[in-house]
Amino acid sequence: MNEAGLLNSMPLEDLKVTCERLERSCQDMRSLLSEFEEEQAMLRQEQDRLHKLPRRIQLRCCDTGTDRSRRVERAQRKVKGRQEWFIDNLLSDMEHLEVSNLLSSIFRAKEERKDDDLSGATFMGLRSSERPPKLRHSPSSSPKAPGPGMGYAEPGRPCELRGRTARRSSAFEVSQCFEWWSLDVPTSARVPAAKRCSSGRLALTLVPMKTAVLALLCSLYGILAQELRGGRRAAGPDAEHLLPKPDVTVAHGLYESSCEVPGEGTKQVARGPGGCVNAQPGLAGFKKQQQTVMSFLVEPCGLVAPHLHANSVEINTVIRGAGVIGQLTTDTNELELSEVSEGDSFFFAQAAYHWWVNLGEEPLITIGAFFNTDDPDTALVGFDDGVGLVGTLMQDMPLLNTMVGRSSGRKNTVPLNEKESPLFPKLTPEACAAARSSNRRAGKESFQKNPSGTNMFQPGELRSGKFGLTAADTPVSCPKPPCGGGLRPLAGEVASRSEGVAGTASSQPSFDGGLSFTANGGGPPPPAFWPGLTNVAGGKSLVKFVVSYCGIVSAHTHPNAAEWNTVISGAGQVSYYRTNTGDATQLVTMDVKKGDTFVFPQGTVHWWVNYSPTEQLATVGGFSAAFPDTSLLSELFRKTEETFPFVNDAVLGEDFVPSAATAGGNLFPLLPNRQPAGCGGDTPCTSCV
């Protein structure tokens, strides 16, 4: 098993323990280095003293050997023994990691890396500016006598280690390490052994332990850090990396089952006896034009009083309950009525008068957005207690009666408490019962409501937490199951021909980048069309994502649209890579759960991962374009490999092999280490990593 496979197979707790043991070894190494330096200083003093002895002592030392020379040799052996002890102890501390294989990689890599290494390249995880003092490979053909290396090498025989280290030497070829590594001293500058004594100075082979051991550990740390990072990713999600405040990267708690205080990044705009509305203005990621994600909760027997939004289109998807919506169409002045329930989507046109009512037994909850604004201009037009248009006109009753009409003034709603909003009145129990018994019905098909067969999700899916991944549920999915997920787009009509206008079937490239697997090679499937949404708010579209058990939404971009999503079930991790950040962090990583909203800025590479083996991740959101152009990162390198592979060799490394999981433009692969191997898609797993 290679190093990466070994580390990836270890539990996270074992990796932490290993790192702690390595840190303790490093502390021991620092103490050892201090002792080495003291001993070297003593040896140098001894060397200088011997250098001053009469020539007869020098000759005696060289020719016959003296007690001093023996003493010096013993000191050298002692230093060498400490080297062996240090490496032996380090290997013993990390025995369960088989660090011998890592050390083997260090030495093999160093042997292959010659002095002409690129100065800007990384070395064992270190940038050039962080490298230890340069070490030079000393081949076995170098001087036979001891040189300024990490030990002695007899002629034709490399130095060896004793004890456990010697038993491991065949595993990681450390027997040659002392011969391989030496100080960066030119060979021509080294004094042959035969001349060292005659020069009048005993040239002891003092080991530069601080340099050599630091080089060893820095290299080990580089490899181990890379492997540990890979192991951590294999073990689960990365740590969050959010934008610095005051930017809001993720807004929390958009909706609940009641009108309680919302989460961080979410504001409760209005609340009355009949319901409330929460909004998430100012989300980071909308570069050109802000979109305000919001959620309405309408209590049983509650209403959203007649009003309009002068500067924005309002769009909603029902995630719980049912109700009736009414909207006065412009020009025709007809009241468009629709019944809406779980999975339905509907919109109110800009500046159109509209209202809602919930005559059901449970709250009506929606998720939606105000398009192209972070502060929708709202005017209440139908409340007469001194507020709203009608209330204002009551000071001139003849005018009000002429333009609007007259009433008795009696109310069928519960009284408002202080600070409660008149936007959310509530029928009295008697009035609500009468309204329910009247059995009034609204039309089923309408431009303001998505066509049948295009619901974001089916009734009961949210309650069960299990979402379908059939072609009817998620028309855009993978070429062959099991799939990592799928999506349902809801878009307006696309013109059949429009010269050079992006977002049309005739534009190049295709308006959805060939993302959808349809007979004509691209474009949203016919069930995705919502004719009433055509050109609304300058062109917008909705989307539902379902990321299956252990599923991935692979790295891709939308050149023409920002994307936003609110989690309606499950949890996961989503990321995008920022542009033009200077020294700031470019990778943004967010842990998201039910009620959280996140945004992918237009043109950024982004991806999703669901690390849960038993729970799907589902979201409802939209795009700031009529239909998003989509480009998969994997296809860039796949197509380049087929045509100009040397480009990949230059930027990715040689022998690049494109991912099989994303072959065919698959946007929804699965995590590779999930268990059992055939799980994913509609089948839960036991583990994802």
* Whole-number pLDDT of residue 97: 46
Whether the link from the prior residue into 54 is cis, omega within 30° of 0, is: no
Q: How confident is the model at residue 539 (pLDDT cuts 50, 70, 90)?
A: confident
Phi, psi of 83 (to 5 degrees): -60, -50
The pTM assigned to this predicted structure is 0.66
Kind and range of the H or E element at 643?
helix 633-643
Residues 593, 578 contacting (CB under 8 angstroms): no
* Whole-number pLDDT of residue 541: 92
Mean pLDDT across the stretch 300-329? 95
Mean pLDDT across the stretch 423-449? 89
Residues 75, 143 contacting (CB under 8 angstroms): no
Residues 110, 219 contacting (CB under 8 angstroms): yes
CA distance 212 to 133: 9
The domain defined by 257-437 folds into Jelly Rolls (2.60.120)
Mean pLDDT across the stretch 536-561? 94
Q: How confident is the model at residue 156 (pLDDT cuts 50, 70, 90)?
A: very low
* Whole-number pLDDT of residue 624: 92
Residues 73, 236 contacting (CB under 8 angstroms): no
Picking from 569, 564, 521, the residue whose alpha carbon sits closest to that of residue 543 is 564
Q: Is 395 helix (H, G, I), strand (E, B) or coil?
A: helix
* Whole-number pLDDT of residue 386: 64
* Whole-number pLDDT of residue 640: 96
CA distance 675 to 689: 8
Interval 183-209: pLDDT, tens = 333 434 444 433 333 333 333 334 445
More confident call, 209 vs 405? 405
Interval 210-258: pLDDT, tens = 555 555 555 555 555 544 444 444 556 788 889 888 889 999 999 988 8
More confident call, 613 vs 107? 613
Q: How confident is the model at residue 491 (pLDDT cuts 50, 70, 90)?
A: confident
CA distance 545 to 384: 43
> Within a 10 A sphere around the Cβ of 145, how many other Cβ atoms?
17
More confident call, 160 vs 374? 374
What are the residue boundaries of the structural domains of the chain, listed by start?
3-235, 257-437, 461-630, 631-666
Question: Residues of the chain with pLDDT > 90: what percent?
Answer: 41
Q: Looking at the predicted structure, is the pLDDT value of residue 64 above 70? A: no
Picking from 393, 405, 543, the residue whose alpha carbon sits closest to that of residue 476 is 543
Q: Looking at the predicted structure, is the pLDDT value of residue 35 above 60? A: yes
For the 461-630 domain, the top CATH level (class) is mainly beta
Q: Which letter does DSSP use for residue 532 in this model?
A: G
Q: How confident is the model at residue 6 (pLDDT cuts 50, 70, 90)?
A: low
Residues 652, 624 contacting (CB under 8 angstroms): no
Interval 630-670: pLDDT, tens = 899 999 999 999 999 999 999 999 999 999 999 988 999 99
Q: Looking at the predicted structure, is the pLDDT value of residue 484 above 80? A: yes
> Within a 10 A sphere around the Cβ of 63, how many other Cβ atoms?
9
Mean pLDDT across the stretch 79-107? 53
Q: How confident is the model at residue 396 (pLDDT cuts 50, 70, 90)?
A: confident
Q: How confident is the model at residue 406 (pLDDT cuts 50, 70, 90)?
A: confident
* Whole-number pLDDT of residue 501: 45
The pairing of beta strand 135-137 with beta strand 378-380: unpaired
Mean pLDDT across the stretch 285-294? 88
CA distance 104 to 68: 38
* Whole-number pLDDT of residue 91: 52
Burial degree of 74 (CB within 10 A; 0-12, 13-18, 19+): exposed
User: Which CA distances in Å does 11 have to 19, 279, 685?
Assistant: 13, 42, 19
Q: Which letter does DSSP use for residue 522 in this model?
A: S
Mean pLDDT across the stretch 674-685? 94
Mean pLDDT across the stretch 534-543? 89
Kind and range of the H or E element at 590?
strand 587-593
Dihedral sign, Cα of residue 651, residue 657, residue 661, residue 665: positive
Mean pLDDT across the stretch 397-414? 85
* Whole-number pLDDT of residue 87: 58
* Whole-number pLDDT of residue 187: 39
More confident call, 83 vs 553? 553
Mean pLDDT across the stretch 608-637? 93
What percent of the residues of the chain are helix, what percent strand, and what percent coil, each to the nearest 5? 30, 20, 45
CA distance 663 to 660: 5
Mean pLDDT across the stretch 307-321? 95
Amino acid at 559: P
Q: Is 191 helix (H, G, I), strand (E, B) or coil?
A: coil
More confident call, 86 vs 570? 570
Report the residue count for the chain. 689
Q: How confident is the model at residue 674 (pLDDT cuts 50, 70, 90)?
A: very high
CA distance 56 to 59: 5
CA distance 291 to 514: 26
Interval 135-155: pLDDT, tens = 333 343 333 333 333 333 333
* Whole-number pLDDT of residue 159: 37
Q: Which letter does DSSP use for residue 529 in this model?
A: B
Residues 315, 540 contacting (CB under 8 angstroms): yes
Interval 590-600: pLDDT, tens = 999 999 999 99
Residues 280, 294 contacting (CB under 8 angstroms): yes
DSSP symbols for 208-238: -HHHHHHHHHHHHHHHHHHHHHHHHHHHSPP
